[in-house]
Structure 1
Amino acid sequence: MKALFATLCTALLGAPAMAAGPDTAALFEHQLPRLHSDDTLDMRQFAGQPLLVVNTASHCGFTGQFEGLEALHQQYKEQGLRVVGFPSDDFKQEAKSEAEAAEMCFVNYGVTFDMAAPVSVKGDSAHPIFKEITRQTGKQPRWNFYKYVIDRDGRVTEVFSSITGPESKRLKAAIEGVL
């Protein structure tokens, strides 16, 4: 029935319908500054696309995962996956300036996927995107480089902790499941 509804909406409206369930506005109705840029990261552009959302930090034992995240971005971008990084100092390991964080991401690791300016990802001060992720999963990030696989309807389908690297077969299977 759900598939029929989506097909009818696509045929009648020219766009797929968002499924009922998560508060998709909580994930997509945000505009954030891009990391060390005057440009804006408009999350509405990602509505209807599968996402891999990652909270990052520049000075963490897991910072080397930027390389693998970029590899995932390159591997799956043509199939529609969008990788979005959210630097955070919630665990006291982010760079002291956005310029330093940008150098770490863009120069040291060659990141080309979307990176927002630093936000809070846990607790009462968490950005609404992470509040919605936590509401859906019951799991706020416990450290840097938590990975959230989000389907086209804005539902978090899988959560991976910091110790699960981007090369993980389980992570890749979860990504392939939402493509």
Structure 2
Amino acid sequence: MKKKFILSFTIIMFFFKSSAIANYEKTFFDLNIESISGEIINFSDFKDNAVLIVNTASYCGFTNQYEELQILWEKYKNKGLVVLAVPSNSFNQEKNKNSEVKEFCEVNFNITFPLSAITEVKGNNAHELFRWAKTNHGSSAIPKWNFHKILINKEGKIEDTFSSFTKPLSNKIINKIESIL
């Protein structure tokens, strides 16, 4: 009786297993996003690189993380890291126009890494990138607030995610980046 129960339980658990997580029908490199200037950023151009995606906002308490993101970009861009900021008003803390965001980032933080257009990052209207992240990595990939970070490895898969509270130059992020470069 006990063996029958264990076998039945195992079979039932197999059917409830989430096959959506990490099936990677597409990788990050199959996607794209509009840039802050209106061109398309093809993520295939980032192949063989690690990519740190950060949803950003100009009026957030974490906005000063732009400074550390720029330092991270300068330190690791020649070693194979791309930093990609995705400005978003999903949390009602972003400017209204792409041109305003671009100017804010350049004037206040001397940002030189790629910026996307203002993009939805959560909910039904989330950009394909964030829906892809949720499908393949689960709820930890869904931004809970601005400056949530998703680290993509060189295979185009999610390596790890980091909350808004984790600073870009934290040992946690640096160690993970260095382990995949």
Partner of 1:168: 170
Alpha-carbon shift at residue 21 of structure 1 (Å): 5.0
Partner of 2:114: 114
Partner of 2:11: none
Aligned partner letter, 1:94: E
State the SS of the aligned residue for 1:135: helix
- Could you list the runs of 5+ residues in structure 2 that have no partner in the other structure? 1-21
Equivalent runs, 1:66-85 vs 2, <5 Å: 66-85=66-85
Partner of 1:128: 128
CA distance in 2, matches of 1:132, 1:101: 25
CA distance in 1, matches of 2:89, 2:78: 31
% of aligned pairs identical?
37
CA distance in 1, matches of 2:96, 2:133: 26
Alpha-carbon shift at residue 160 of structure 1 (Å): 0.6
When the two structures are aligned, how many residues end up with a matched partner?
Answer: 158
Alpha-carbon shift at residue 38 of structure 1 (Å): 4.0
Partner of 1:58: 58
State the SS of the aligned residue for 2:160: strand
Alpha-carbon shift at residue 89 of structure 1 (Å): 0.5
Partner of 2:29: 28
- Contact 1:150 / 1:178 at 8 angstroms: preserved in 2? no
Partner of 2:17: none
Please list the CA deviations of residues 24-83 of structure 1 after superposition, one character each: whole Å capped at 9, or x if unmatched.
34x233343311x24332222012321111111111000110010010000111111111
Aligned pair partner of 1:157 in 153, 156, 159: 159
List 4+ stretches of structure 1 deviating above 6 A.
Answer: none
CA distance in 2, matches of 1:30, 1:22: 12
Aligned partner letter, 2:168: P
State the SS of the aligned residue for 2:172: helix
Please list the CA deviations of residues 110-164 of structure 1 after superposition, one character each: whole Å capped at 9, or x if unmatched.
1111111011111111111111111222120000001111111111111110001
Partner of 1:91: 91
Partner of 1:141: 143
